[in-house]
Structure 1
Amino acid sequence: MGDPDTEGEGSSEGGSEAETALDETVERSFTCTFCGFGMIHEVPLLQAEAQSVCYNCGDWTTQSADSEVVVRAAETAAEALADGLMTERQALAYLLREVAGLDRQTTADAMESTPSNVDNLQRRASEKVDAARDLVDGLETLESTTAPEETPEELPETPDADG
């Protein structure tokens, strides 16, 4: 059997509760990158950084979440996104790199893989996401050009002020 990172596209059943959770916000602990103070913010599921005023040092700072927490959230999301068009590992590489913004090595470590394999998985997933977006754009264009034109309701005629 081949490497699970490079095997063909898998499939899973959709319609799960995980799909509806992709747009949820979560309360996540973040650490001020200036003073190390921990704070909790409500953020989108895969947000790895937040910017706000630190409650401890009072500075406007970037605060980082624990990457392991973000990886676990991405694994849950990848499971929901893997639908036969892309594998769960492709989805995970895409989510960690493109959405969460983790670096190659952190992503590779989280996936127990190599940075070059993460690059390949991410590239294949990006190609599939772009193709899906093109498909949706094409469908929207077709729908907008073939939709029946709405005719404005005729207004009742009003007599001229002169006559």
Structure 2
Amino acid sequence: MDPVSGDTKETIFDEEVTGEVRKILQPTSENDAKLRELKTFLIDWINYELKQEHIVVKSLEEDLFDGLILHHLLQKIAKVKIEVEEITLSVVNQRRKLGLILDAVSSCMQLEEEHMQWDLNLIHSKDLLATLHLLVALARHFKPDLPLPENVSVEVVVMEVSHQIFGM
């Protein structure tokens, strides 16, 4: 909610910085059968991998944004130990933890930042497209025999802040 105007409408951009670019799924793509198949497949895969830890994922966006499940998943599939707090309640600590985990992902996969289609801000803001890119990259790298659904494509809308309006 905007404290000045009282507007409860969600903003797409975190701080509306001039030049910020955001890709969002076209609403019609969210109902695409191939996309639903991929989401279900990834949820089932994560739940299978983390079954012994009694972790159950129901929503990719809602359950992965804070780093807890990514932490457990990366430890399991990459067999790496990441020294981070198990439970983080504050946004600052969640972001710090998620940043450490994403650093570990890029290190394990030997990825350069320009080749990643996700970042801390996108994952923490529950961006489905970025979360899907991250999970598919993890699956392909650590579980190359996993039969991921093929030919999944979605339409995205690219939005850019072209200027800012400063209030008084």
User: Which has a greater percent of helix?
Assistant: 2
What is the TM-score with the length of structure 1 in the denominator? 0.28
What is the TM-score with the length of structure 2 in the denominator? 0.27
| Structure with the greater alpha carbon radius of gyration | 1
**Higher RCO, 1 vs 2 (CA within 8 Å, ≥6 residues apart):** 2
